[in-house]
Chain A
Amino acid sequence: MHVVPLIVRFGDEQYRDGVDIDPDQFYARLQETDVHPTTSQPSPDVFATLYKTLLSDPQDQVVGLHISSKLSGTLQSASLAAREFDSGRIHLVDTESVSGGLQLLVRAALDDIRSGDTAAVVAEKATRRRGRVTIVVLLDTLTYLHRGGRIGRAQAFVGSLLNVKPLIAVRDGEVVPLARPRSRAKGIEMIVEQVRSCAPLRSLAEFHAAAAESMVDLEARVGAAVSNVTAVLGRIGPVVGAYSGPGGLGVACLGAD
C-alpha cells in the first residue's frame, strides 16, 4: 500500500501530512500560532510518478482509494495523472469518506486483495462498501471547519451564542450536521447511539485530535456498546485536523457486508 500525502500549510511553510509533520507537531503548532493552516491536494505529478513505479510491470494494476471529492481535489489530481496511462490499469474510487472511514475502506480492500480479487473487483467492492461507512465526529468548535470552507450543511450550526459541541457526520461525501449537545459527555453518548445504529459492524475506528482524555472515555463507552468488533484506534492527522481543530473526537463504522 502506498500513501500519497496531502499537504498542510502554515503561511509559506508547507508540510506533507505524515511525512514532514506528525499529529503531535501539528497540534502543538496549531496551539501556538495565529496562522490558520490551509491544505492542498497532492499535485498530479506526485501521482504520475507513483503510477510509473507501480506500473513498471505490464501485468500490474493500481487501485486508488481517495478522499471524498466533495472535500478534496485529491481524486481530481489522481485522475489527471491516470490519463497518461493505459485505461483500465488504474482504478480510482471516490470513497466519499475521509480519515478513519477511509482507513476502514482501505483495510477492507487489502483483505479483498489478499483473498485474490482483481483490481477491478477490489475497486468495485470499495465503491459498493462506501455507502456502509458512517463517520460521526464531535467537535469542540466549528471554527476550523468553517474557516476551511468544508462546513457543508453544518453551516446551520454556525453562530450559536450558547456553548455547544457540534456533532457532525460525513454523509455522501460531505459534512452534515447531526446534533448540538451542550456537553462533551452528552456528545459521546450520542456517538455511541450512532455506533449502535450501524450494527452489525464489520469494522470500527475511533480517532481524536489532541483529545486523548475524552478518547479514553469514548473507547470505554463504545467498547461497552459494541462487543464483537475490535476498534482501530488512531489520531486525526494534520490535514483533517486543520478542519476538525483540536479537541475533535469521533468514530468511523463500516457495516457488515
Chain B
Amino acid sequence: MRSTTVSATKPAPELAVLREPLREIGGVQVLAGLTAALSWLEANQQEINDLNVFPVPDGDTGSNMYLTLRSSVEEARDAPTPEAADSVLAAAAHGSLMGARGNSGVILSQILRGFAQGSAQRVQLDARGVALAMTEASAVAYRAVMKPTEGTILTVVRDAAAAAAAAAATTEDIRVVLDRLVTEAHAAVERTTNQLQVLRDANVVDAGGFGLAVILEGFARAVGDTQPAAPAPALIRRSGEPALHLPPNPGDMEATGSAVARRGAAAVAPREQGWGYCTEFLISGPGLDVDAIRTELSALGESALVVGDADLVRVHIHTGDPAGLIAAASSRGRMSKLNVEDMSAQHHDVLERADAREAQAEASGAAAREQPEAPPKPIGVASVAPGEGFREIMGSLGADSIVSGGQTMNPSIEDLLNGVRAVNAEHVILLPNNGNVILTAEQVDPLAEDCEVRVVPTRNLPQGITALLAFDPSASLEENCDRMLAAIATVRAVEVTHAVRDTSVNGHDIKLGDVIAVVDDVITEVGSDYLEVIDAVLNAETVKPELVTVYRGQEVSADDAEAMVASLHEKHPGTEFELQTGGQEHYPYVLSLE
C-alpha cells in the first residue's frame, strides 16, 4: 500500500516553490511535458468522454482530444532540433493539426499552434516566454471558433493564460508560473458549470475545458515537477472518495505523495460529484403525506422530485446511497417500479437533455412538476388518467401533469385546477379523457388566473393518448388544439367491462355480469368472455384497423392479457396488436383502434 505521507528524503510538495527556481526550459523538457500531458489525458479519457453533455459535434471529447494530442506528441518526438523549444513546439503544433478530431480536438490544435507561434525563435523559454506563449495560445484558439462560447475550453485557456501572465510579472520561476496556471485552469473548469445553461442543468463541468486542465497539469508536472500552491476551493468541495486515475509515474507519485492523490482525485472529481445512482420508484397509499415524504427523501439525495397524491407518489432522486433511500421510502407505503441506475452508465441519456424542465417532466413520468420558481413555459398539457399504467404512458408522451381519476372517480374542478397549475405554463391544454369529466374541465379556465386553459374534449383514454401524441410544444395553443381535434377523430375507443345490472340496450339483452363492449360511447357487443366480445367488435369494424393497442386493466393478469392478444392476433393477422399496462379499475380492457 502506498504511503500518503511524504518521504523525509524528498522535499515536501508545499516546498516546491522554495527549490532552486526553474528559469528556463528547452525542447527536451517541453517534449517531456507533452508526453506526460498525453498520459494524463489518456488516464482521464473516459472521464472526459463521460462529461460530454453537448448535443454538438462530435461525440467523444476525451477520445478526440487524446487522439489529437497523441498525433502532436508523435510528431514532436521527431522534431528536427530536439533540444530547441520552438522546434519541438512547431512539430507538436503541426502534428496536432494533422490529427485534430472533433471540435475539442480542433480547438486543442489551435491552442498548441498558438503556443508554438508564441514561442517562435526561442530555443529556450523563460517564465515570461511561457506566459507569452499561453496568451498567444488563447488568442489563436478564440480566433479559430466562429462564435466563441464562454464556459468552454476557450474560457479555460484564457483564464489560465491570464494567471500565467500575472505570475510571470512577479517571478522568474517557471514552476510558479505553471503552478498558478494549473490552479487557475482547474478553477476555471469548475466555473464552467455556472457559465453554460446546459452544464448547469446537468451539473457537470465542461468536458473540453476539463481535458485542457488535465493536459496542462500533466505538462506542468513533468516540466516543473511542480505542485499548485493550494488546491482551489472548488476542488475541496468536490473531494470525496478519491478515484485515482493517475498515469503510471512512480517517481512523481513518490515525490509528491498525498498532494498527487488530491490532484488526481480532482482530475476525476467532476464526474464523482452529484452523479451516483438515479433512483426512481412509486409509493402506493392510501393516505400518503406527499409533503412529509418529500421532506424526508429529499434530504437523502439531489435533484429530488417527489410528486403525487395520497394514493400514489412518484419519487426520482439522485443519491449515493440508494439502499438507505429505499429503506426510508418503504416505511411510507408499498413500493413498486423500483429502478436504480448507475448514472455513469446512463449519464448520456440524462445529461444530454438540453432543457432541464423537459428532463424533469420525463423523469417524473406521469407526475406533476415541481419547482414553482421556474418560469412558466409557453404551453403544456394536463391530462386526467386512472391507473398507474396510463399515468406513466401519458407522462412518457409529454403530459406535464396528471390528474387522478376517470371512469369511476371523476376529478373535482379543484383537482383539475391544481393539475393545471402544476403544469406551470402560460397556456394549458386540459384533456378530460372521459365524457363525464369534460364539463368539469370546462369550468377550470375562469378559475385559473395565471394561465389560459383550453379543453380538448377527449371522451376516453385512447383519445387522450392520441391527443398527446399530436402535441407539439413548439406550436401555438390554437394549432395544438386543431391538431389534437383532428387526431382524435382518427381513433376508435373500445371499453370492455362487466354489466352491473340486467338491462336491455340497443336491442341487446344484458344480464348482470355479462361482458359488454362500449365502442365510442355505444354498447355494441355483449357476451360471456373478453376474447369473444373483442373479436366481435373487431369483426364489426367496416375498416380494418391497422393497429390495435390493448390497455390491460388492474384486474387482468399480464399472462391472461398476453394470451388474449395472441388469440386476437391469430384471428386478425392483418392487424398489429400492442399490449400495454393501463392499470385502470373496473374496465378489464380498453382498446384503441387506429
Interface on A for B, CB 8 Å cutoff? 7, 38-41, 43-45, 69-74, 76-77, 79-80, 146-153, 155-156, 158-164, 176-177, 179-180, 182-183, 185-186
Contact = CB atoms under 8 A, between A and B. Distances in A.
A177 B472 contact: yes
Interface of B: 52, 54-60, 63-64, 97-103, 106, 109-110, 144-146, 348-349, 352-355, 358, 362, 392-393, 396-398, 465, 469-470, 472-474, 546-547, 549, 576, 578, 580, 594
Given A40-B64, A43-B98, A43-B101, A182 B57 contact: no
Contact of B102 (A40, A71, A147): A40
A40 B57 CA distance: 7
Q: Which 3 A-B pairs have the closest CB atoms?
A: A73-B57, A161-B396, A149-B55
Contacts of B397: 160-162, 180
A70 to B, nearest CB: 8
Nearest to B71: A43
B480 to A, nearest CB: 13
Given A79-B146, A155-B354, A161-B393, A147 B473 contact: no
A155 B100 contact: no
Contacts of A176: 474
Contacts of A45: 97-98, 100
Nearest to B471: A156
Given A149-B54, A149-B352, A186-B546, A73 B97 contact: no
Contacts of A150: 55
Given A158-B362, A161-B392, A41 B57 contact: yes
Contacts of A80: 106, 110, 144
Contacts of B549: 162, 182
Nearest to A43: B100
A164 B469 contact: yes
Given A149-B52, A150-B55, A179 B106 contact: no
B583 to A, nearest CB: 12
B546 A76 contact: no
Nearest to B55: A149
Contacts of A44: 97, 100, 106, 109
17 contacts: A39-B58, A39-B59, A40-B102, A41-B57, A41-B101, A43-B97, A44-B97, A73-B57, A73-B103, A73-B106, A149-B54, A156-B473, A158-B362, A180-B469, A183-B547, A185-B546, A186-B594
A178 to B, nearest CB: 8
Given A43-B98, A44-B97, A162-B580, 8 more contacts: A39-B57, A41-B57, A73-B57, A80-B106, A149-B55, A160-B396, A177-B472, A180-B469
A41 B104 CA distance: 11
Given A43-B98, A45-B97, A156 B58 contact: no
Contacts of B474: 153, 176-177
A162 B64 contact: no
Given A38-B60, A40-B64, A182 B352 contact: no
Contacts of A71: 57
B262 to A, nearest CB: 32
Contact of B398 (A7, A152, A156, A183): A156
Contacts of B63: 38
B101 A40 contact: yes
Nearest to A177: B472
Contacts of A151: 55, 352
B102 A41 contact: yes
B436 to A, nearest CB: 25
Nearest to A176: B474
A161 B472 CA distance: 17
A74 B57 CA distance: 9
A182 B470 CA distance: 11
A151 B55 CA distance: 7
Nearest to B143: A83
Contact of A41 (B58, B349, B396): B58
Contacts of A7: 101
A254 to B, nearest CB: 24
Contacts of B145: 76
Contact of B594 (A40, A147, A183): A183
Nearest to A164: B469
Nearest to A73: B57
A44 B549 CA distance: 51
A39 B353 CA distance: 20
Contacts of B54: 149
A38 B393 contact: no
B246 to A, nearest CB: 23
A156 B362 CA distance: 9
B139 to A, nearest CB: 14
Contacts of B64: 40
Given A38-B60, A149-B54, A163 B578 contact: yes
B471 to A, nearest CB: 8
Nearest to A181: B469
A80 B358 CA distance: 36
A149 B56 contact: yes
A45 B75 CA distance: 15
B215 to A, nearest CB: 19
Contacts of A161: 392-393, 396-397, 580
A182 B547 contact: yes
Given A41-B57, A156-B473, A182 B594 contact: yes
A72 to B, nearest CB: 5
A163 B58 CA distance: 29
Contacts of A163: 578
Contacts of A162: 393, 396-397, 465, 469, 549, 578, 580
Among B55, B56, B546, B547, which residue has the most Cβ atoms of chain A within 10 A?
B55
